Structure 1
């Protein structure tokens, strides 16, 4: 797909995941290729090529072409829709990907399953640009397998003219008929279960077994009032007027708020779930030197700023953030205040059995 077409998709407000649903790309294996001159030979004896497996609309408008101009390496970008899809694809054997973008708990899950290559930090000098607070996360101590790409925070996107006051509690999504038929929930099972636990006063992690039936019954009771379970295109439902309240990521709502002043975003008072998307090299990557060079390029200050200008997600790249305009750096939707963040947590990978338990719970809710 050309840069022009990709830019059009960005302006259409498609999230990092929603494009796949619209185009059927998950089924046909849609691939983006950087445009430019014929690739030159690269050091290290690798062919001047790289296969990048990414979320949709989750890269700068010219990033792939700029990397090719700088290195001669042509990037083919294929798309996945969920972490589960990414995990299943790699579990079956790496079909040729060099760099992938799993979320935090899937870094843990994939590294434990032997699906990731350890990173050579000496080949990633731009690691120095990362905010120190992101250098030693619990999901990947010492950044052995991953480099941070973005971070994300779930909250409630809403239309101000249709909602009374600020919907500052998960109650309005999970436990109330006040906006029946005007609500959309994210379809990812672990996120939903964890946020319900947060609403009920528990951490998003180590949820006790006896709380799960309470969560299930609460969501089954709420289901008749829910318009849709969406695949991370909740901002589109909000923009179109199909719903007035939506569970969605801060970056997605920040994108559409630029063009619609009637939209806003709030992190509920109970706290929320933080996610982080990362850059990893999968086991068996055919071009590990090119992979390290690409990750290092994405962590460059200017390249990182160009990515952030396009996708409007919070960046963990301190050098890139410093180059961004004030309306990004001071945007409280993109970077919520410290007192809000203090109530938010990362979700930890607690084993495949627990992940399946959450998936089965939400399957039962949706079938009820």
Structure 2
């Protein structure tokens, strides 16, 4: 997988290149050269994460501090991550699944319980992230970033503030100027939220109702995007887009005509996390790396680079006011207050979401 130059939730550091010490793109050859060991472990670590979802100097700083080389491999989706480890861990020490997949992977016995004694920087985490519903007590995961879906829009092209999902899901007011996220679970859940339901526990009748709504709306939709909706908005291809707050925050620095809102009906929260997969060859190094990523200074460097909201209170305190008080990076208001984390509710439910999306695309 190569680095992409466009902005994306998963592709943020266009100028990063491959300068970080120890950075590779695959496991091949990454652990053949033996180096000094600590606690009986080779001074290496295999990190499996999203595309350029790290600070510019994080890996080299970690190496300077610990002597441990980090070899970074990339995945594009949670499904890819899950499939890669389902048949057995090929050698990864730290992975970055999203919240639903923490639950899914722990239930499938694919994760190693964390030793909190080896992660003293857990004390830096915001109170709201200490005991999430997808991982009570943080047995399996540590928080890395969080994000919320909402509407990115071009102010000069939209009348007022588009404070409802209706503008995207159930109206022809901006026909041909709308882009929706193509991920099936996110789209169906948000459609259900617009219709007054929780994003969890959605029954088949509601899925069918949401499917019919999107099929009716489809002539008004320009594209179902692959998490590059912010690029379409920035380029002027669309005027309203379903996207993550971090993505829109990034392009707002380039174009003051762009803004973001979490619709009043509420939305879907996500959190990307740090986990140790079962069978990790270097669990001590893994704990050390996770602890380092939760360090205040390291966390601030990551947040400064990727422009996503950090759950690290100590890191946030080191950031400039323009970050700490940015209402897009850290949303508030009725829509945000009504937002929920999605739960993994089994393969059958996921299949139902995918079937619905197939019907929408085929209509």
**Normalising by structure 2, what TM-score?**
0.92
Greater helix fraction, Structure 1 or Structure 2: 1
Paired position in structure 2 for 1:85? 80
Ranges of 4+ aligned residues in structure 1 off by more than 3 Å: 29-33
Shift of 1:18: 8.5
Paired position in structure 2 for 1:133? 128
Paired position in structure 1 for 2:298? 303
More displaced 10-residue stretch of structure 1: 297-306 or 69-78:
69-78
Structure 2 counterparts to residues 283-322 of structure 1, below 5 A: 283-322=278-317
Is 1:259 the counterpart of 2:249? The answer is no
Paired position in structure 2 for 1:116? 111
Separation in 2 of the partners of 1:338 and 1:122? Answer: 37
Shift of 1:174: 0.9
Q: Which of 38, 41, 61 is the aligned partner of 1:46?
A: 41
The answer to whether the Cα contact below 8 Å between 2:25 and 2:71 also exists between their aligned partners in 1 is: no
Separation in 2 of the partners of 1:112 and 1:343? Answer: 28
Separation in 1 of the partners of 2:134 and 2:103? Answer: 5
Separation in 1 of the partners of 2:110 and 2:175? Answer: 43
Q: Which of 4, 10, 15 is the aligned partner of 2:9?
A: 15
Paired position in structure 1 for 2:202? 207
Is 1:237 the counterpart of 2:232? The answer is yes
Is 1:186 the counterpart of 2:181? The answer is yes
Shift of 1:40: 5.5
Structure 2 counterparts to residues 92-171 of structure 1, below 5 A: 92-171=87-166
Separation in 2 of the partners of 1:72 and 1:250? Answer: 36
Separation in 1 of the partners of 2:106 and 2:215? Answer: 35
- Tell me the alpha carbon deviations over residues 315-338 of structure 1, each in whole angstroms, 9 at most, x when there is no partner: 110100110110111111111125
Separation in 2 of the partners of 1:17 and 1:112? Answer: 29
Paired position in structure 2 for 1:24? none
The answer to whether the Cα contact below 8 Å between 1:18 and 1:231 also exists between their aligned partners in 2 is: no
- Tell me the alpha carbon deviations over residues 241-297 of structure 1, each in whole angstroms, 9 at most, x when there is no partner: 111111000001001101110110011111111001100001111111111111000
Return 5+ residue gaps in structure 2 as ranges: 14-23
Separation in 2 of the partners of 1:308 and 1:232? Answer: 20
The answer to whether the Cα contact below 8 Å between 1:55 and 1:79 also exists between their aligned partners in 2 is: yes
Q: Which of 326, 332, 339 is the aligned partner of 1:331?
A: 326
The answer to whether the Cα contact below 8 Å between 1:151 and 1:313 also exists between their aligned partners in 2 is: yes
Paired position in structure 2 for 1:23? none
The answer to whether the Cα contact below 8 Å between 2:147 and 2:309 also exists between their aligned partners in 1 is: yes
Q: Which of 215, 224, 245 is the aligned partner of 1:220?
A: 215
Return 5+ residue gaps in structure 1 as ranges: 20-28
Paired position in structure 1 for 2:53? 58
State the SS of the aligned residue for 2:168. helix
Shift of 1:17: 5.2
Shift of 1:342: 1.5
RMSD after superposition: 2.1
Paired position in structure 2 for 1:274? 269
Separation in 1 of the partners of 2:34 and 2:313? Answer: 31
Separation in 1 of the partners of 2:362 and 2:111? Answer: 35
More displaced 10-residue stretch of structure 1: 322-331 or 230-239:
230-239
State the SS of the aligned residue for 1:313. coil
State the SS of the aligned residue for 1:206. coil
**Normalising by structure 1, what TM-score?**
0.90
